[in-house]
Structure 1
Amino acid sequence: MASTLVQSPDIQAYLDRIAGLDGSGGDSRTKAILRRLVSDLFSTIDEFDISAEEFWSALHFLQQAAPEFGLIAPGLGFDHFLDIRMDLADKAAGVEGGTPRTIEGPLYVPGAPLEKGRARLDDGTDTGEVLLMRGVVRGADGQPIAGAVVDVWHANTKGAYSTFDPSQSPYNNRRRIETAADGSYAFRSVVPSGYAVPPNGSTESLLKAVGRHGNRPAHIHFFVSAPGYRHLTTQINIDGDPFLHDDFAFATHDELIPQVVRQEEPEAIRAEQLNGPFSQIDFDFTLLPAALADEEQLMARTRALAQAQ
């Protein structure tokens, strides 16, 4: 509710001027949204008696924090809230089933090499435990989808992502995998680690101010797409991580925590031509049919640029 001051005729007219509502130019939706945002901020300033010094301190924080907005947004729950709204819209429309969506995060890089059926994601320099993941992409009818693309990316054992970590080779731990005729995909990589927001950075400072941490559990991101099906944005979590149910980005979903099986038997190790124990995850994706062509497409947002190879 707006404060008494903000509800006064003078401030209401002032808000109209700020949002351009006293003129005919501009976009009407943008005007309405801007007016609501400024009005709510004015009300917050008045309700909490925010001083000029506190206001300018907050503005300075935002100026300094700009490079970390991609982390602050999920940390303040915006990414998950957008998913909640889309889930509710699906429910209202009677859309059910399929692999649950969850947040994309800020660390996707387009243009990863495309492989057929099976791929190796890591470049061999990480000494972490080998991870073998496999599964099938299916439609809601249970039938496998040949030619679907599983776009996968994850951190290394230090919790760092290629492109954003210049010490890694281009597209390390990133690949696109086209499913085989039976809808199957498989990849070899290393078991990733979780990560924390940059130490002493803006995100950590903000979270500490409200008594929270900035840790994410180990996870693997996916885009899964195929003609005629809804584009899926999701991720799985690595079971057993200490932050599994305490993700600062609120992205954990019970249906997206597959069993991690550690294979130690010599026969299993030999069958995969490995030299030691490895972890294995089996996980199938289920895509829903697209009602509109736009549903087949990746959501429009600014992302990192493709890497030179």
Structure 2
Amino acid sequence: MDAVLSEIESTVGKNANPRITTIVNRMVHDLFYMIEDLNIQPEEFWAGLNFLAEAGRSGELGLIAPGLGFDHFLDLRMDEAEAKAGIEGGTPRTIEGPLYVAGAPVCHGEARLDDGSGDGEVLLMQGQVLTADGKPLANAQVEVWHANSLGNYSYFDSTQSAFNLRRTIVTDAEGRYRFRSIMPVGYSVPPGGATDRLLKKLDRHGTRPAHIHFFVSAEGHRKLTTQINIDGDPYLWDDFAFATREGLVPAVANVTDTQAMQALGVNKPFSLIEFNFTLHPDKADAPAAEVARPRAVAA
């Protein structure tokens, strides 16, 4: 085994990228030992390789990664790195997921996310973006996106209008944001797809609870990637992507007051979520909070 590994490593050229070389050599080393220790047969090896190729073609690697806990693990490592740099508390981070789309319309203070075509439950969410010592952050950006009442996201679902349920809200002088939308629902991985088949082999489900994604950023502060989960969802603490965290499950109030309904322009009760985001100041010795990764951009 060691002789084979040494032979492979000896083929690396003198101009090789040191970081990539270290990562690839470690990956090959660990996979060789996995094949040896688990007596993986050639048919199993090629089945696994073909499975990953299929998942890549269908765009499901972005589901498999959180489904196997990688996204959550990276979040926990970032938490540890920040704690070492003296950054603790505030709004917890959690996974971004694969369904962000850059370029959503910018609104100031408040926004309506839905295009009015759906008949879902009306949702009003509001709060403030605050500094670590509780002061309001004016002109912070609250990027928000979520699924519709069928569990689908605009851009990836061609039946929805452009940027439906997606906006960037710039906070007012008191750090306040506010948006009207429709209540999202939970959804599952594509039935019969690569992720679904893998999870079934593990006797696991592929369902996420209803949730709303956020990027929250402000000048001089660390960008926050997070999401809230909707209280009462049956999968609230059984998210296949391991994204539910304490502090990210705000209460949902049912508003029946006639004046409040009239002020919102609706004639039926609606749900209200109050939630504040707390951002930490930038620190030179802290790991980068902005994660560079491929993301969709609307044409």
Query: Where has structure 1 moved over 4 Å in runs of 4 or more?
Result: 293-297
TM-score normalised by L of structure 1: 0.93
Q: Take 2:242 and 2:55, find their aligned partners in 1: how far apart are those partners?
A: 21
- Aligned match of 1:3: none
Deviations 1:261-288 (A, max 9, x none): 0112323222322110100000000110
- Identity among equivalent positions (%) equals 56
Q: Take 2:148 and 2:98, find their aligned partners in 1: how far apart are those partners?
A: 16
Alignment of 1:132-171 (within 5 A): 132-171=124-163
SS of residue matched to 1:161? coil
Is 1:267 aligned with 2:259?
yes
Q: Is the 8 A contact 1:115 1:176 kept in 2?
A: yes
Unaligned runs of 5+ in 2: none
TM-score normalised by L of structure 2: 0.96
Q: Give 1:181 shift.
A: 0.7
Unaligned runs of 5+ in 1: 1-5
SS of residue matched to 2:271? strand
- Aligned match of 2:292: 300
- Aligned match of 1:277: 269
Give the root-mean-square deviation of aligned CA atoms. 1.5
Alignment of 1:72-111 (within 5 A): 72-111=64-103
Q: Is the 8 A contact 2:222 2:279 kept in 1?
A: yes
- Aligned match of 2:205: 213
- Aligned match of 1:11: 4
SS of residue matched to 1:185? strand
Q: Take 2:287 and 2:182, find their aligned partners in 1: how far apart are those partners?
A: 32
1:201 aligned to which of 193, 200, 205: 193
Q: Take 2:62 and 2:284, find their aligned partners in 1: how far apart are those partners?
A: 29
Q: Take 1:62 and 1:183, find their aligned partners in 2: how far apart are those partners?
A: 44
Q: Take 1:203 and 1:138, find their aligned partners in 2: how far apart are those partners?
A: 38
Q: Take 2:149 and 2:7, find their aligned partners in 1: how far apart are those partners?
A: 54
Is 1:35 aligned with 2:25?
yes
Does 268-277 or 62-71 show the bigger shift?
268-277
Q: Is the 8 A contact 2:224 2:289 kept in 1?
A: no
Is 1:65 aligned with 2:43?
no
Deviations 1:27-62 (A, max 9, x none): 111111101101111111111111111111111111
